[in-house]
Every structure is written in structure tokens, then in C-alpha cells.
Amino acid sequence: MEVIPPFIEEGINHSLTHDIDELTIVPYFLYPGKKIKAAVNESIGFQEKTGVKLRITKPMTMHKTMIELVHNRIASALSENSVNLPIDTVDVLIIGHGSKDPNAKRSMEYVVEGIKPAYSNVSSCFLEIEEPNIEQGILKCKNDNPEVLVVVFYFLHEGAHVKRDIYEDLNPALEKANLPKVLITKHIGTDE
């Protein structure tokens, strides 16, 4: 949409060069908000310019697959670090971006509630805009006295937030909390 090409217009125009009757557009966003609304509106604008039927799916924000992805990231982190505990003894902290849009928080709560039955404690925090922030999230986890804490980066891409920004808040919070064992998952998207 705005970071790296192809941008929406390029992608749709390229697709329309093929002999197609329909084009399905999937909003690839974790949270509803201004950006997803802008992307959908921009996509809808192409319908007037073509005879190809454009279909825009619902965003993936509150789909059960998101819950499965988070479970898989947690399982991978445990396995890769040779942690062989029953998962109901594992604590989880999900770190999301944060947004002014109230629907964004609902989509995070959907994932938290979806995985909560499997683990000892599950909570969430945000990199920016919303609270609890990362320091507050780690403090809450410390108060739960976890044997092992798995921190899930609820981000689609390994951009600046995942590579740098989260760690600027997470590392000092973890040092201060002095938890016995902390594992950090890969972000939930793919960059391949």
C-alpha cells in the first residue's frame, strides 16, 4: 500500500492486463482502521474503469486462522528452544502495534481470547498509541510469575517495528523484570 511496491494501483493494473473475468482483492491487514478503509476505497475506485468484476474480501483480522498462526508461532518457539513443558503451564504475551481505531483492539482481543484456554496466562500489550504498553505488559506477566513466557510479535512483516522498535522497549522491560525464561517468536506473517 505505501511502504514497498507494488502499490495497489500497480497491482490491480498488472492483474487487469491478463484475460480475467474477476479479480479477488484480499486486504492483507491485521487490524481494521484507516489504512484498510483507504485500501478498500482505492480498490473500489477501479471498478468503474474496467469490465472485470472486482471482489473485495473481508480482511483477515478476526479469522480463526489468526488464532492458529499464533498457536503455531508459540509451538515453534517452544520446540526450537527445547522447552518441553505442558502448554497449559506456559504464559503468553502478544505484542501488537496499537491503533486509535477501537476495532483494532477488538481484533487483538479476539486472538487473545482464542488462545487463552490453552495456556496458563495470556495477555497483550502494544508498541504505541494504546495501553498497556510493552513495559506494562511485561510487568503484568512478571506478576503472573511465569515459568516460561513466550512473547508473540503480532506483526505481518519483519519491518522496522519487528527489527528495532519493539526491542527498544522490550529489552529494558525484560531486564527489569528478570523473568526466568523468555522466548520470542517470529512475527506472524511471512517475508518469503
Q: Is residue 99 part of a domain?
A: yes
Lowest mean pLDDT among 14-23, 134-143, 182-191: 182-191
Percent of the chain with pLDDT over 70: 97
Among 98, 102, 106, which Cα is nearest to 128's? 98
Distance CA 78, CA 85 (A): 8
The amino acid occupying position 53 is: K
CB 91 within 8 Å of CB 120: yes
Write down the mean pLDDT value for the chain: 91
Residues 85, 177, single domain; the answer is yes
Model confidence at 157: pLDDT above 90: no
d(CA 168, CA 171): 6
Same domain as 35, residue 72: no
Give the helix/strand (H/E) hosting 21: none
> 25 and 71: one domain?
no
Rounded Cα–Cα distance for residues 107 and 31 (Å)? 6
83 and 143 inside one domain: yes
Q: Are residues 17 and 105 in the same domain?
A: no
Residue range 8-21, pLDDT digits in tens: 889 888 998 999 99
- Whole-number pLDDT of residue 3: 64
The angle subtended at Cα 34 by Cα 45 and Cα 124, nearest 5°, is 140
Query: Rounded distance, CA 137 to CA 134, Å?
Result: 5
Q: Minimum mean pLDDT among 56-60, 96-100, 146-150, 176-180: which range?
A: 56-60
**Residue 108: inside a domain, yes or no?**
yes
Asked whether residue 114 falls in the same domain as residue 83, the answer is yes
Q: Cell 505481518 belongs to which residue?
A: 156
Q: How far is CA 97 from the centre of its chain?
A: 8
Structurally, the chain folds into a number of domains equal to 2
Q: Are residues 167 and 134 in the same domain?
A: yes
Per-residue pLDDT tens for 27-79? Answer: 877 777 777 778 788 888 888 888 899 998 887 777 899 999 999 999 999 99
pLDDT at 136: 99
More confident residue, 191 or 175: 175
User: Which pLDDT value is given to residue 191?
Assistant: 52
Looking at the structure, do residues 125 and 174 belong to the same domain, yes or no? yes
What is the model's pLDDT at position 2?
57
Question: Quick check: bond before 86 cis, omega within 30?
Answer: no
Q: In the listed set 22, 40, 56, which residue is the last one of a domain according to the structure?
A: 56
Q: Within this chain, do residues 31 and 108 fall inside the same structural domain, yes or no?
A: no
Is the same domain home to 87 and 108? yes
The whole domain housing 96 covers: 64-184
Q: Are residues 87 and 20 in the same domain?
A: no
Q: Which residues of 151-184 are buried (b: 16+ CB within 10 A; e: fewer)?
A: bbbbbbbeeebbeebbeebbeebbeebebeebbb
Residue 1 lies in a domain: no
